[in-house]
Amino acid sequence: MQKVTVLCVGKLKEKFYTEAAAEYLKRLQRHCKCEIIELPESRLSEDPSPAEKQKALAAEAAAIREKLPKGGAVVAMCIEGKTCSSEELSRRMTDFAVAGKTQVTFLIGGSVGLDEDLKRQADWRLSMSPMTFPHHMARIMLLEQIYRAYQIQQGTRYHK
């Protein structure tokens, strides 16, 4: 059984987000071992300088590396990543498993994104869309797509 980790910067605060995440985690139990690891987001000033943003990204990257599961595939969620269909995500998840990468970790950065070194080290850079989404919403969308990927693999009617 594949293990999926969603490693996120920032915590879900709104009840509707936490309920949605809990629902997808419950659904995913039948298909994989899924966990969410939340890391604290660096505090930034109202109008942060590029240096302040870089310092925050570096601190968040260090925290991510500390919690990053060993081995497996790493997928960096970032706007400059490649977009793909739900079917392609399903194929990628299957390909990771076939290649022996039973651990798949998705990285979601905070409000200023992900550190460039983390993105370079990832096995795949994935973008949900060229649009910008709050990282809390991106987490829910990602969980749904992971669930959909497993449903596609099983040929269920969930994905029409």
Tokens at 54, concatenated: 């870089």
pLDDT, tens digit, 9 for 90 and up, residues 4-32: 999 999 999 899 999 999 999 999 999 99
Mean per-residue pLDDT, 91-95: 96
Strand order in the sheet with 3-9: 33-39, 3-9, 103-108, 73-82, 124-126
- DSSP classification of residue 126: E
pLDDT at position 57 is 95
pTM above 0.75, yes or no: yes
pLDDT at position 65 is 96
pLDDT, tens digit, 9 for 90 and up, residues 47-92: 899 999 999 999 999 999 999 998 899 999 999 999 999 999 999 9
Residue 160 has pLDDT above 80, yes or no: no
Ordered structural domains, the chain, with CATH: 3-42+52-154 (3.40.1280.10)
